Amino acid sequence: MEIYLDNSATTRCFPEVAELMTKIMCEDYGNPSSMHHKGVEAESYVRYAKETLAKILKVSEKEILFTSGGTESDNIAIMGGYGQSPCRASYDYHPGGTSGHPADHEIHGEPGF
């Protein structure tokens, strides 16, 4: 029996998710910001994900923001709270708070500012 305790960094995905992601990465791999066929096809996955998450979370689709990872997410949340980002976020809503992630240190120079 395997016990894995680092789920905040990486988590095993459901087989259905891996199957869909393989299809997207190998067949529908277009840039969702592009207007060509592959891009429009890829953008439909992003739009569907936003619609689905918005319904589950009972928020507007405009409130859903996809990022490339933790550091980018932290920076948007922190800088948005300081009014320095076009994306506005509340510190109270950020699940991790500002508990000392390296991105926090990059901006403020101290842990947990």
pLDDT digits (tens, 9 = 90+) for 31-75: 999 999 999 999 999 999 999 999 999 999 988 988 888 888 888
Residue 4 scores a pLDDT above 50: yes
pLDDT value of residue 84: 60
Banded pLDDT at 5 (limits 50, 70, 90): confident
3-state secondary structure of 94: coil
What are the tokens at 22? 């393989």
Residue 110: partners with Cβ closer than 8 Å, 6 or more residues away: none
